[in-house]
Structure 1
Amino acid sequence: MARHTSKRIKGRTYKRCACVDPATDKRLGTKCPTLKRPNGTWSATHGSWCYQAELPRRADGTRRPLRVGGFPGQTEAQAALDHVAALVQLGEERGPAELTLVGDLIENARRANEPLPAPEEVTKRLDIGRDPDGMPTVADWLENWIDSRKKIRGATDRSYRGHIRLWLTPHLGHYRLDELTIDHISRMFDAMAERNDRIIEARASSDPTVQASVRGMRLMSAATMQRYRATLRAALNAAIRAKRGRKAIPLITFNPASYVELPSGKRPKALLWTPARVRRWEETNEKPSRVMVWLPEQVGEFLDHAYGHPYYPIYHLIAYRGLRRGEACGLSWWETDLEAQEMTISAALVQIGWKAEFGEPKSEASGRIVALDNASTETLREHRQHQNQLRRAAGDAWQETGLVVTNPDGSPVHPAKVTDAFYELAEAAGLPPIRLHDLRHAAATIALAAGASLKEVQALLGHSSITITADTYTHILPDLARDTAEATAALVPRKPRQQPAF
């Protein structure tokens, strides 16, 4: 058993195994007698090597022991322990704050199941701001900031890193952090606008080659620009809070991103596909708003047409219960209780580029329990019977993912394919166009028509704020109220009216 001790870290390497004591049904771990030969030396064929270390305490003073196993030999385990000790020594040489930061970096890497950072990388992060004349560049600060974020959801982390990689670092990364100005940032957004202009001009060109040069390129909306600014503003606010040098001087005292003027990026108005708007669309092929919502009867037409499609349960749950696409694709049977008629939204299958991966729901409010109506419960029961038939037909090729909706072999359904099929089904049904995400609004529309409050709709859809719900549906309510009034009036029997005598 080897030990490694420094001023701030104590560690050792050892062997353990997964053998279970039949009397207690507990793992023997390091106490297994088979780990060593009769002469006291380690067995070469039983167990695996591990290391244990006591990392520097957290900022709140709590301990953080580190235990890592699975190494094929003692040499590999000792090398990993030496790596940890070398990183801790870098913090020891710089001070208590830096020592805590090193512990954070090691702990975060282990939690994310990622390799520990190299000493050179840690040295670079620790030395940011130590030299009064060595102010970090914007690129250095953005990298340090995003890597130090702890309480951040996976989708948000990917969004921030995308903003940093695609625009913030290429356009602003070479400036010193304290020299970044409003004008520098404004020029970046001007470049975004110029890119939009080039795409629009190329799409309008009569030259097929020019048109092909921008195929697949998306315009950057005002809302997207707002999100880029929000990322930069958050990173610069962190730089204001950060200190450098022994005098604890802030890295910067002014956030230029807060003063850059951009288009508002407000949500487009959500409008119902009323008969008048449908007629106008049929005449001009133009949508009144980017966010259009089907009336309940149009939702019924679509679901009737889509019934029997492999993805029908997804469309049904989006339309009836307001699930997001990723939530419906990532819904599992173990989170679906048909007897209690409820489902728990605890995961989502999201699309990053083309790759689809599982993650947490979009926000804290998105993780919710959703009640199932009778129609949705019956739909899921029918689908489970059909899935059991697919499982038997696939045999050994079946992939047991536990998901509610799968491919014929049990594997997850790619979210993009769900969207493509939706557009094909909606067009075949002769319905006015909406996005798949707008089908989720149908659940809100039906709930509002049934008399639900905006607060109840917020909970149903998993919005983090009622402001989002109100902003989205404020423009729907008047049309919905008129439609409800007409439907109510139609229930009153009346005789045909004759021309009055006067």
Structure 2
Amino acid sequence: MVHRRCGCADAVTGKRLGNRCARLADPAHGSWYFAVQVTDVSGRRQRLRRGGFPTAEAAQQAARDLAQALEAAPVTGYCAVAQWLRYWLSVVEQRIRPTTYKAYRDRVRLFLIPHLGLIPFRQLSRRHVVRMFTAVARRHTRYGKPISAATLERIRATLRAALNETVREDLIRDNPARGLRLPSPRHVHPVVWTPRRVAAWRRTGERPAVAVWTVEQLAAFLAFVRDDRLFALWWLIALRGLRRAEVAGLRWIDLDTDRRELTIACQLVHTDHGLFPCPPKSASSQRGIALDLDTLRLLRRYERVQRGELGTDWSPSAPVSTRENGEAIDPDYLSYRFHKLVLASGLPPVRLHDLRHGAATLALAAGADLRVVQGLLGHAGIVLTADTYTSVLPQLYHDSARATAQMVLKAARKTARRVRKGHTVEA
């Protein structure tokens, strides 16, 4: 069974309109979903739903593919870990974000099935899991670097989530991935491209894992890309700290020119079925971004250019970032394009996400409160903001040192004047 749905909501109640949306008469509005009845490995019947397909034919084909993939899964008796993992992925796909599902699927394919796939899951033990992580820790990435502790932790989290489902299904009593001790991930703090670091990079190629530009370096980059088609997006990420998926998902209806504010209500992610709009990363990521007058003028000019390009095809619900033909831009393309521009500029290298770190660092250097920076970035808690951005621009340290010294010297001069006038100094 296939049907078409959209994300439109009632303006009064806020509830999804579902198949009552009048815009569903437009074939380009919404996306296609399917629902099928399957038998899980415990013998129970379940109704699985999947969506985000561009056509009814694509949804029907996906339903047939899913039914065939699950048909071979045994109802009782022998079931290998690989079979369970594939079944678990098919069940959780609609419960989690598309990006999370893709990460789960990649870890299952690259690590879990190759090492644990042939083991009957009722026989899976802690020893098997420890052996897997020992083997994975010896591997290297395609860049020749060892698998990081953070990657090991993500693999463990995926396996633990999959096996927790077997515990809930009463198929096994205990989760062998629970309580496993792994190396603690090392938290990397952003560092600034100081003249010494730039000189070392030019001489040896050495670069920090996470680096941010100084104000002068950022200004040089923005001047270099002034005529780039995506200049407004680089500006927003660099000054307002948007994530690449958030800036790719921006629509003109998210811009309030009267209040000078951008509403982050959607992000664009890449799925197996193409680009898909979904809610931001977390509840705290749904936020309003205050805009200065220069940024507002830049966006208005960008809107006029896009209106001229698209003509009658332009609409307020159109994405802010588009290609020349009006299609939305893949967040991966933003990273690729930014990397090329940085190389061409000759500036020390930073990643696109490092512009977000730089925006937080610049805000702190400008005197913004930590709470303001937390809201700007959409962090869930202030601890994350404080822990990540302990490294700030050198100028902030100089200002702090200067203010401290001036305070002490002012007090010392006041005390000296009192002593010269014959007053005693209180302890």
Answer yes or no: same fold by TM over 0.5.
yes
Equivalent AA in structure 2 for residue 419 of structure 1: S
Cα 1:141/1:431, change in 2 over 3 Å: same
In 1: Cα distance, 2:204 partner to 2:236 partner: 32
Residue 317 (structure 1) shift: 0.6
**Which residue number corresponds to residue 232 of structure 2?**
313
**Which residue number corresponds to residue 420 of structure 1?**
336
Residue 295 (structure 1) shift: 2.1
Whether the aligned pair in 2 keeps the contact of 1:182 and 1:259 (CA below 8 Å) is: no
SS in 1 for 2:288: strand
**Which residue number corresponds to residue 445 of structure 1?**
361
Q: Could you list the runs of 5+ residues in structure 1 that have no partner in the other structure?
A: 1-65, 68-82, 201-217, 244-250, 492-502
1:459 to 368, 375, 392: 375
Equivalent AA in structure 1 for residue 319 of structure 2: L
Q: Does 1:145 align with 2:88?
A: yes
Residue 291 (structure 1) shift: 0.4
**Which residue number corresponds to residue 412 of structure 2?**
none
1:372 to 291, 297, 314: 291
In 2: Cα distance, 1:367 partner to 1:426 partner: 30
**Which residue number corresponds to residue 221 of structure 1?**
148
Cα 1:109/1:328, change in 2 over 3 Å: closer
Cα 1:401/1:413, change in 2 over 3 Å: farther
Correspondences of 1:325-336 after superposition (within 5 Å): 325-336=244-255
Equivalent AA in structure 1 for residue 363 of structure 2: A
Equivalent AA in structure 2 for residue 359 of structure 1: C
**Which residue number corresponds to residue 350 of structure 1?**
269
Residue 479 (structure 1) shift: 4.2
Q: Does 1:390 align with 2:309?
A: yes
**Which residue number corresponds to residue 140 of structure 2?**
196
In 1: Cα distance, 2:135 partner to 2:382 partner: 35
In 1: Cα distance, 2:277 partner to 2:389 partner: 29
**Which residue number corresponds to residue 266 of structure 1?**
186
Q: Does 1:292 align with 2:219?
A: no
**Which residue number corresponds to residue 327 of structure 2?**
411
2:160 to 196, 210, 233: 233
Residue 403 (structure 1) shift: 1.1
Deviations 1:77-121 (A, max 9, x none): xxxxxx98xx59x89xx99xx4xx53x43xx35898855678787
SS in 2 for 1:196: coil
Q: Point out the more displaced range, 111-120 or 420-429.
A: 111-120
SS in 1 for 2:178: helix
In 2: Cα distance, 1:241 partner to 1:454 partner: 41
Length-normalised TM-score, structure 2: 0.73
Whether the aligned pair in 1 keeps the contact of 2:81 and 2:121 (CA below 8 Å) is: yes
Equivalent AA in structure 2 for residue 234 of structure 1: A
Whether the aligned pair in 2 keeps the contact of 1:192 and 1:220 (CA below 8 Å) is: yes
Residue 310 (structure 1) shift: 0.5
**Which residue number corresponds to residue 495 of structure 1?**
none
1:275 to 172, 195, 205: 195
**Which residue number corresponds to residue 40 of structure 1?**
none
Whether the aligned pair in 1 keeps the contact of 2:138 and 2:147 (CA below 8 Å) is: no
Equivalent AA in structure 1 for residue 88 of structure 2: W
**Which residue number corresponds to residue 79 of structure 2?**
136
Whether the aligned pair in 2 keeps the contact of 1:399 and 1:410 (CA below 8 Å) is: no
Residue 440 (structure 1) shift: 0.8
**Which residue number corresponds to residue 432 of structure 1?**
348
- The alignment's C-alpha RMSD in Å is 3.8
In 1: Cα distance, 2:143 partner to 2:325 partner: 41
Residue 401 (structure 1) shift: 6.9
Cα 1:199/1:479, change in 2 over 3 Å: closer
In 1: Cα distance, 2:280 partner to 2:229 partner: 24
Deviations 1:314-368 (A, max 9, x none): 1111011110112112211111212221122222223459964433322332222
Residue 161 (structure 1) shift: 1.9
1:163 to 107, 116, 140: 107
In 2: Cα distance, 1:140 partner to 1:354 partner: 24
Higher relative contact order (CA 8 A, sep 6+): 2
Cα 1:173/1:399, change in 2 over 3 Å: farther
SS in 2 for 1:256: coil
Deviations 1:209-246 (A, max 9, x none): xxxxxxxxx87433222211111011222222322xxx
Deviations 1:118-177 (A, max 9, x none): 87877877x75xx5xx25322232233333335322211221122222321232121122
Equivalent AA in structure 1 for residue 85 of structure 2: L
1:338 to 254, 257, 262: 257
Equivalent AA in structure 2 for residue 273 of structure 1: W
1:482 to 388, 397, 420: 397
Equivalent AA in structure 2 for residue 448 of structure 1: L
Q: Could you list the runs of 5+ residues in structure 2 that have no partner in the other structure?
A: 1-18, 21-34, 407-427
Aligned length: 366
Length-normalised TM-score, structure 1: 0.63
Whether the aligned pair in 2 keeps the contact of 1:296 and 1:442 (CA below 8 Å) is: no
2:122 to 159, 178, 183: 178
In 2: Cα distance, 1:286 partner to 1:110 partner: 45
